[in-house]
Amino acid sequence: MRTLVFIPAWNEQASIAAVIADVREEIPGADMLVVDDGSTDETTARARECGVLVATLPFNQGLGAALQTGYLHALREDYELCAHLDADGQHPAAEVGRLLEVLVADRADLVIGSRYSDPDAEAGSDDYKPTLSRRIGTSVFRFFLTLATRQRFTDTTSGMRAANRRVMALFSEHYSPDFAEIESLQLAVREGLRVEEVPVRMLERAGGTSFLTPVRSAFFIFKGIVVLLVGQFRPHHAETDR
């Protein structure tokens, strides 16, 4: 099935080439798009040196805008499936391939790679280890999103996802610029799409630094809860076609 893997990136010059190489090795049949969200470093140049298509946003607009750009490109170019992963090296492309397999089997419309849904998995020395503030935020969002959707979620902020055309159509029109990961799950469930989590392995960052400080994390949690509450009262959109 014709597949696009897109990579939202902001100041990831240190890791973008390795991420592209990993996708090429593990998902050789997929096309690639890097969405540079207004980087001030050499992210675009490094990606173009790797020979992939790059969409460069004129200024930093946030993760939601970068992801929506990827979904819109996938829809307009008639891809049957798409997937995205972070540009910092945390997401092994082999794990993304597992998400795509769920879509090929038509078991879901949107598949989330979860760091937390397999408590028995043995962590490796280079596996991702969340900070205390991230663990708190994840627990809070897990509780409120599960309450809002009546579907259990374990990793509400995962940036490793795969989707079919129903999801592309929905997210191309309706996608939050600020709380893309959380609100998109709420939206997908409310619109009747099949959302499934798959346990995956994630690594520590290969380059760059996270923008989330403890203070920003607290503010992020507060705003995220508000977004979920507001989302409960939004009208449903017209159902998207397969």
- Domain 3-231 grouped into CATH 3.90.550.10: yes
Q: Report pLDDT digits (tens) over 149-190.
A: 889 999 988 999 999 999 999 999 988 776 678 889 989 999
The percent of the chain in helix, strand and coil, each rounded to the nearest 5, is: 40, 15, 45
Whether the per-residue pLDDT at 219 is higher than 70: the answer is: no
Whether the per-residue pLDDT at 7 is higher than 50: the answer is: yes
Where residue 52 falls (left for φ over 0; alpha for ψ -120 to 50; beta otherwise) is beta
The whole-number pLDDT of residue 17 equals: 98
Residue 14 gets which letter from DSSP? T
Please name the amino acid found at residue 170: L
The whole-number pLDDT of residue 220 equals: 58
Cβ–Cβ under 8 Å, residues 235 and 160: no
List the alpha helices (DSSP H) in 27-160: 43-49, 63-76, 93-104, 132-149
Name the pLDDT band for 18 (thresholds 50, 70, 90). Answer: very high
| DSSP H or E stretch at residue 229 | helix 214-231
Torsion sign across C-alpha atoms 225, 145, 85, 203: positive
Highest mean pLDDT among 20-24, 139-143, 189-193, 201-205: 20-24
Whether the per-residue pLDDT at 56 is higher than 90: the answer is: yes
Q: Where are the domains of the chain?
A: 3-231
Whether the per-residue pLDDT at 120 is higher than 80: the answer is: no
The whole-number pLDDT of residue 181 equals: 82
The whole-number pLDDT of residue 116 equals: 85
Residue 56 gets which letter from DSSP? E
Name the pLDDT band for 67 (thresholds 50, 70, 90). Answer: very high
